[in-house]
Structure 1
Amino acid sequence: MENGRKEDTLEEIMIEHGSDLVRLAYNYVKDKETAKDMVQNTFIKCYENLDEFRYDSSIKTWLYRITINQCKDYLRSWHYRKVQTKEVLDNAIKPLLLTPEDKAIRKSEQEKIKDFIFSLPKNYREVIFLYYYKSLSIGEIAEVAELNTNTVKTRLRRAKQKLKILMEEANVYG
């Protein structure tokens, strides 16, 4: 692929998938600027490897896989261990058009639900995020996370069971 066309293709990919990838990365690294760095690295790898992409999978799942691997590498890195961040996920759940009182109650419940999700082990949190927040299918999650589909189904079922118990104990129903 010639450089001009390759750059145009990358620009289209960045516009279409950039925001989703930043949110995905944020789910892992819990820091907005670090998430943006992870996605920038993803786009660099995308540009470097665009000629070799065979379309065996969709661009979306390929980018998700690269981003997740970038984040996992970062989380294993020395830098992350020295400078861990503790920010809470912003804008994960968009407020519905409700009365101000309903919005306040809903926001409080959603914050509790996010806290419950973040209290889950990373492997459960990952499938919950990809399934419910990114609307990926079981097969797409398996491809992105490089897991067997049955493993994804099991993790999703266990994550939902754990969330249900946590929510029942706290009397929260989202």
Structure 2
Amino acid sequence: MNRFGEEIKRLIFSFTKNWTVTEDLTQEVFVSVYLHLEGFREESQIKTWVYRIAINKSKDYLRSWAYRKMVITDSFTQEKDYLNEQPDILLVKNLENQQLFEQVMKLPLKYREVIILFYLKELSIEEVSEMLQLNTSTVKTRLKRGRDKLKNSFIVEGGNHDGIKA
């Protein structure tokens, strides 16, 4: 937990976009790691294995009834009050490139996850491929399409897209 805790928390937040759920899922991930540590076959790095568990827990949550119910409820009651947000969320929102972060978070999950793992987590295409259980060509395609979507969203909204490599 000391080694990967914050990274896993940020990764899960990139899926859920909800800090409370992120905290709960992070705990579930590390409980699962602890309970299944003896089953780790060392076919990959421990980091890859822990990330895979976190990604699976996040995807399971996004498929759950609790998430769909929350999305429906939030769409009716959502108000942005940045003054009451937790310091961790404020830190993320104060990143140098706030606009890029927001656009990445708007991407469909299949593009968002490869962009975050490749650029933010600085994993290789092979590592992303292993974590998401996808072919490397699929990862490359999703990276390209994700970058294209980001580039187009910046052009449409009149933003600067110089930092995005297409």
Q: In the aligned structure 1, how far is the partner of 2:106 from the partner of 2:15?
A: 13
TM-superposition CA deviations, 1:99-120 (whole Å, max 9, x none): xxxxxxxx5xx22212221222
Aligned-residue identity in percent: 41
Q: Aligned partners of 1:56, 1:44: CA distance in 2, in Å?
A: 21
Per the alignment, residue 121 of structure 1 pairs with 108
CA distance in 2, matches of 1:153, 1:42: 27
Structure 1 residue 130 corresponds to structure 2 residue 117: yes
Counterpart of 1:102 in structure 2 is none
CA separation of 1:132 and 1:93: change in aligned 2, threshold 3 A: farther
Instruction: Name the CA distance, whole Å, in 2 between partners of 1:145 and 1:93.
Output: 26
2:70 corresponds to 1:83: yes
**CA distance in 2 between partners of 1:131 and 1:71 (Å):** 18
Aligned to 1:166: 153
Maintained 8 Å contact 2:8/2:51: yes
Contact 1:92 / 1:133 at 8 angstroms: preserved in 2?
no
Residue equivalent to 1:64: 51
Q: Using a 3 Å threshold, how does the CA distance of structure 1 residues 28 and 81 change in structure 2: closer, same or farther?
A: same
Equivalent residues, number: 148
Distance 2:70 2:108 in 1: 20
How does the TM-score come out when normalised to structure 2?
A: 0.81
The 1-side partners of 2:152 and 2:15 are apart by 24
Contact 2:111–2:142 (CA under 8 A) maintained in structure 1: yes
**Alpha-carbon distance between aligned partners in 2 of 1:47 and 1:161, rounded to the nearest angstrom:** 39
Write the letter of the residue equivalent to 1:38: L
Corresponding residue of 1:30: 17
Please give the alpha-carbon distance, in whole angstroms, between the structure 2 residues aligned to 1:112 and 1:124.
Answer: 17
Amino acid at match of 1:151: T
Pairwise CA distance, 1:172:
1.6
Greater Cα shift, 63-72 or 164-173: 164-173
- Rounded to whole Å, the distance in 1 between the matches of 2:23 and 2:46 is 19
1:44 is aligned to 2:44: no
Unpaired runs of 5+ residues, structure 1, are 1-13, 96-106
Please list the CA deviations of residues 4-37 of structure 1 after superposition, one character each: whole Å capped at 9, or x if unmatched: xxxxxxxxxx100000000000001111121111
Distance 1:58 1:94, change over 3 A: farther
TM superposition outliers: structure 1 runs of 4+ over 3 Å: 85-95
Compute the displacement of 1:45 (Å).
1.1
